[in-house]
Amino acid sequence: MATDINVGDTEHKKIRISPVTTFRTPATSEKSDNTNSQEDHNSEPQDVEFYDGGEGEGEDLEDGLKDLMGRLGRIGLRTPSPILEVYAPERFPASYKENDEKEMKAIQYCKNFLKQYNHLCYTRRPLFLKPRNEFGVKKLVCTTIVPTQLPFYELLDWPNIAEFLAGYLNYIKLKPPSELPQTLHAPQSVLERLYGHCFEYSTVLCSMLIGAGYDAFVVSGYATREVCRRDLSYTICPFVEQDQIKFTAAIAKNISRYTIRPPRWVQSEYELRMAKKSHAIKKEEEDSRRKVEERARELNEAPPPDELEGRRVHSWVMVLKGRRDVQETFFIEPSTGVAHPTSWDQYLRIESLWNHLNYYVNMNETLDVASLNYDIGDSRHWEYVFAGQDLHIHYTADEARHKKAALALMGDNCPDELFLDLPMSWCLPLKISRDDYDRKYPTGKRSRRYKYTILEDFCPYLNPDGMVRKLYVYSNLACTDISYTICYFADRSDRLESRFFHQQTGKIIEKFSEGRDDFLLEHHYYAFRIESENSRLMIFTEGKRTDELYRREEDANYIRSYYKNRSDRKTFKESRFGPEGRILESPKILLPNPRPIEAIIETFERNPNVPANSDIAMVTFNLATDEIEIEYHVDDNSIFGSTRHFTKPPNWWDETQVLNWSPELHSSFEANYLTKPKSELELYEMLIGLMKMESKTRDMTRMVEKEIRHILKVRNREEEKLELVRTYVQADRDQALREVRLKLKAQGKAARYMSKQDILRDYLEPFMHRVGLDEITNKKQAVRVKDDCLRDLKEALINQASMIKEQFMKETKIIENSQKMYHEQFTTLSSTEVQEYKSYLLQHMFIAHILEQRLVNLKEYAPVKYQELYDRMLKDKRLEPFLI
C-alpha cells in the first residue's frame, strides 16, 4: 500500500514500503475545565501506514531514503510563538475561574438553543454565544458585559466615551478574519492589557455606554475589509475643512424709490436663443467630462477587490433610540470611535446582537444592514434567547391579557422561576486611574492615516509646546506631497489653539481663545517674507477693545482697520503709504524707518439725528496733494449725496503763521439745491476742524504701527518662553509642584498662627505703655492695668451695642415711613410699583432682623467675654504675683 506524505509546499511524494503495519492513533482533544462540560470533538482515528522493507528492494530503499533526507533537509521549520496572556489567579475572584450553578444552567440552556438553531438554520454560520474567558472558562457573552459609569465627567456622553476608548486601546485583527474569536476577555482585563479584538472593543464600549444610561448592544456581523482592519486610508478625515470661508465685508445698500432706470438692452432674440443653446451644449459636455473624471478618480482611489468580501467577521455597537434623548438608532465603530447611521454601507450583515439582559438573533439573515427592522421586540425579525428578559418585547392587547390571565390562574402554584433569567455579570467593574485616563493613548500618542491625510494625536503635556494634535494634508493619495499642516494646542499660557501652515505659499493662520490681554483671536501672516514686506491680518474679540476694533489688515502699502459700535460711528479707516507721502508726525511716536503716508480714508455709518447733507459718510485726507474730500450720506429721498472739497493753504503746516482763507480753497456739490449755503466763516472753521482731525488721525496711524510691532514682539517672547498652564489636578499630581505648594501652605499657616499668638500675648502692652510702664513691679500698677483693660473692653462692647442699636432704629424708621407712604398712596399704585414696594420692604425688614439678632447675641456674649478676660489676667505671669 502506498501513502502520500505532504510536507509544506513540496509535491506529494509516494514512498513504497512493504509489508504494511497499521497503527491507530487517537486524535488529541482539549482539556476541559472542571466546571464546564466538554464539547464534542468530531475527530476520527487516523490510520498511519509504514513499510518495513522487503527482499530485493534494499537499493531502492536506500536511494529513496537519501532522496527523502535531502528534501527534508531543505525544509526550514520555525515553531510559532503564540501570544499568551499569563494572569495571576489570585488577582481575580472565583467567578473568573469557575461557573456557579446558575451560570451552568444558563450555559446548558444556550446549548439547547444552539442545537435547535443549528437544526433549523443549518445553512447559517455559528453564533458567538459562549466563548472562553482568559482562564479558559466558558462564559456567556451577555454576562461579560458589566455596566459601569467611570468617575470622569467627560465620559457621560457617547461621543467622548467612544473617542476615549478608540484611542485608549490598541486594535488587533481577528485571525483568521472569517471566523469568530475563541476567547472573549473580561472588559477590565482588556483595559489592563491595553489591546483587544473587535468583540472585546465592543464589549468594553457597550459596558461604558450602558453605565452612562444608553440602550446599547454589541453587534456580531460582517463588515468590509477596511473596517475590519481599521484601514482609514480610503476615508475622508473628519477634521479637514472642506470649504474655506473667506471674509467679506458686508456693505449696506440703500434702495430708493427714485432710481434711474437703466437703458433698454437691445439684442437679437435669435442670437440670444442660439447663445443659450450653445451654452447648454457646453455645459452638458462639461458635466459629462467631469463625471468621467470623477468616475476615473473613484476607480483609481477605490480599494482593491477583497477575496473574502462578505465573510469577514466584525463586531460593533448599536445604540437604540429612546434613552438619553437619542432620536434615531445608530451604530458606533469602536475601533475609531465614529458614529454611523444604520444605512452605512461598510457594515454588510448582522448575525446577532446582545446586551447585559438578553441575546437576540437576526432572523432575516439575507437582508443588508440598511434594510433591517431594529425593533428587537418584534419576534418576526429577532429571536430572543432568554424569555424572562422581555424588556424590548412588545405584546398586543390580547397577548398581554392572556399572559396576565395565565399568571393569575397559577396563583400560589406559580414556580419561583417561571423563566430562566440571566446570571449576574462575572466580571469586575471597570476601573481606570486618573493618570491612565489623562494619558489617553497607550504610548502617549497615536497616528492614523486617512485619505489624503495623516492625523497624529498626543496626550496633554507630552509635547513642550502643548501640541495635542497635528494634521498633515497631502495633495496625492500616496501622502508624499504635503499641502498644508494644522497643529492644535491646549493649556498654553498665550492661549494659542491652532496654527495653520500652507507649504507652498508659507501662509500661517494662528487662532487663539478669548482671554488674551491684547484680545487677539486670529493672526494671519506669511513665513517666507521679510518683516517690511509681510502682509498680515489680525482679528480681535468684538466689544472688548476701547477703540471697538475687531479687524486689522496690514501690507507694505496700507493699514486697514474695521470698527463696530463706536461712539463717533466710525466703521473703517485706511492709511495708504507711498513714496509721494509725507512724514509730518513727531519723532517721539515714529518707528525707525517710518513709511510716508500718502492718504487716509475714514468712513462713518449713518447718524439718524443729523441731516444727511451734514452727516459725513467718508472723508479722505490726501497728504500728497494737501486736499481733503468729504462725501455725505445719501438722503432717503435722494439718489446721491452731497460732496465737499478743501485745499489746504500753502503754509498750513507752519503753526506760527495765520492761515489765510480764500474761496478758491473750497468747492462743493449740494444734492438738495434748497439747502442754505454755508458762510465763509463756517467753511473756515470747518477747514480748521478737518485739519485737526487729520493731524489726530495721522498720529493714530503711527500709534497703530507701534501697536502692531508691540503685538509681534509679545508673540515672539511668548514663543521663546512658552509656559503650559497646568490645572489644579495636574499640578497636584506633579510631586515637585505639590511639595512647593504644601510648603508654602504650611508657612502661611504658621505665620497666621504666630501673628495670632503675638496679638494674644501682647494684649496688656498698650495699657502698660499708657501709664509709662515697661514692666509691672507692684500691686498698685497691676490693679490699674487690670482696671484699664477691663474698662476698655466694657466700653468697646457698649459702643458696639450702641452702633447696632442706632442702625436698627434707622432701619425701623425706614420701614415705618415706607408703610405709611404705602397706605397713603395704595389706591394709585400699579401692580409693578406694589411689587417693588414689597421687595424694598422685605429687604429692609431682613436687615432689621439681622441687626436685632446681633444685638441679642452681643448681650449674651459680652458677660462671657468679660469674664474670660478677667480670668486670663488672673493667670497672666505679669499680673498674677500682685493680684493674689
Burial class (CB in 10 A: 0-12, 13-18, 19+), 459: middle
Confidence of residue 697 (pLDDT cuts 50, 70, 90): very high
Confidence of residue 11 (pLDDT cuts 50, 70, 90): very low
* Strand-pair partners of 456: 447, 470
Peptide bond into 305 cis (omega under 30): no
pLDDT at residue 478, rounded to an integer: 86
d(CA 140, CA 423): 9
Helices (H), 6-121: 58-73, 94-97, 101-120
Q: With contact defined as beta carbons under 8 Å apart, do 139 and 130 qualify?
A: yes
Q: Name the grid cell of 468.
A: 495635542
Say how far residue 195 (Cα) sits from the centre of its chain: 24
Mean pLDDT over 105-110 rounds to: 91
d(CA 257, CA 266): 25
For 230-250, the pLDDT digits (tens) are: 998 888 888 886 433 333 333
3-state helix, strand, coil in the chain (%, to 5): 40, 20, 40
Confidence of residue 182 (pLDDT cuts 50, 70, 90): very high
Q: Name the grid cell of 503.
A: 507649504
pLDDT at residue 399, rounded to an integer: 59
Confidence of residue 604 (pLDDT cuts 50, 70, 90): very high
Query: Other C-beta atoms within 10 Å of 816: how many?
Result: 10
* Strand-pair partners of 218: 317, 354
Q: Which residue has the higher pLDDT, 694 or 534?
A: 694
d(CA 841, CA 568): 43
Sheet with 330-333, edge to edge strand ranges: 338-341, 330-333, 313-319, 216-223, 347-354, 359-362, 382-384
Q: Please, which residues have CB within 8 angstroms of residue 77's CB and are 6 or more apart in sequence?
A: none
DSSP states of 300-324:
HHSPPP-TTTTT-EEEEEEE-SSGG
- Helix H, strand E, coil C: the string for 609-623 is CCCHHHCEEEEEEEC
d(CA 578, CA 777): 91
pLDDT at residue 823, rounded to an integer: 86
pLDDT at residue 254, rounded to an integer: 43
Q: Which residue has the higher pLDDT, 479 or 57?
A: 479
Q: Which residue has the higher pLDDT, 882 or 261?
A: 882
| Half-sphere exposure for 491 (CA within 13 Å, toward CB) | 18
pLDDT, averaged across the chain: 81
pLDDT at residue 443, rounded to an integer: 85
For 850-868, the pLDDT digits (tens) are: 999 998 898 888 888 888 8
d(CA 624, CA 581): 5
Q: Name the grid cell of 569.
A: 460711528
d(CA 427, CA 203): 11
Confidence of residue 258 (pLDDT cuts 50, 70, 90): very low
| Half-sphere exposure for 713 (CA within 13 Å, toward CB) | 6
As a whole-number percent, the residues of the chain with pLDDT over 70 amount to: 80
8-state DSSP, 248 = -
Instruction: Identify the weakest region by mean pLDDT among 82-86, 251-255, 605-609, 616-620.
Output: 251-255
Q: Name the grid cell of 168.
A: 485608549
Residue linked to cell 508657612: 747
8-state DSSP, 230 = T
Handedness of CA 493, 495, 499, 505 (dihedral sign): negative
Radius of gyration in angstroms for the set of CA atoms belonging to the chain, rounded to a whole number: 45
For 573-596, the pLDDT digits (tens) are: 999 998 877 777 667 777 777 888
What is the identity of the amino acid at 865? K
- Helix H, strand E, coil C: the string for 25-46 is ECCCCCCCCCCCCCCCCCCCCE
Mean pLDDT over 474-496 rounds to: 91
pLDDT at residue 438, rounded to an integer: 86
d(CA 517, CA 22): 93
Four-point Cα dihedral 685, 687, 691, 694, nearest 10:
120
Q: Is the pLDDT of residue 209 over 90?
A: yes
What is the identity of the amino acid at 319? V
Residue 185 host element (H or E): none
d(CA 50, CA 18): 7
What is the identity of the amino acid at 878? R
d(CA 664, CA 51): 131
Mean pLDDT over 655-676 rounds to: 80
Mean pLDDT over 278-303 rounds to: 83
Mean pLDDT over 343-358 rounds to: 92
Q: With contact defined as beta carbons under 8 Å apart, do 625 and 597 qualify?
A: no
Confidence of residue 205 (pLDDT cuts 50, 70, 90): very high
pLDDT at residue 52, rounded to an integer: 39
Whats the size of the chain, residue-wise?
A: 884
- Helix H, strand E, coil C: the string for 827-847 is HHCCHHHHHHHHHHHHHHHHH
Q: Report how far apart the first and last C-alpha atoms of the chain are (Å, whole number).
A: 129
Query: Other C-beta atoms within 10 Å of 446: how many?
Result: 18
Burial class (CB in 10 A: 0-12, 13-18, 19+), 784: middle
Mean pLDDT over 455-465 rounds to: 90
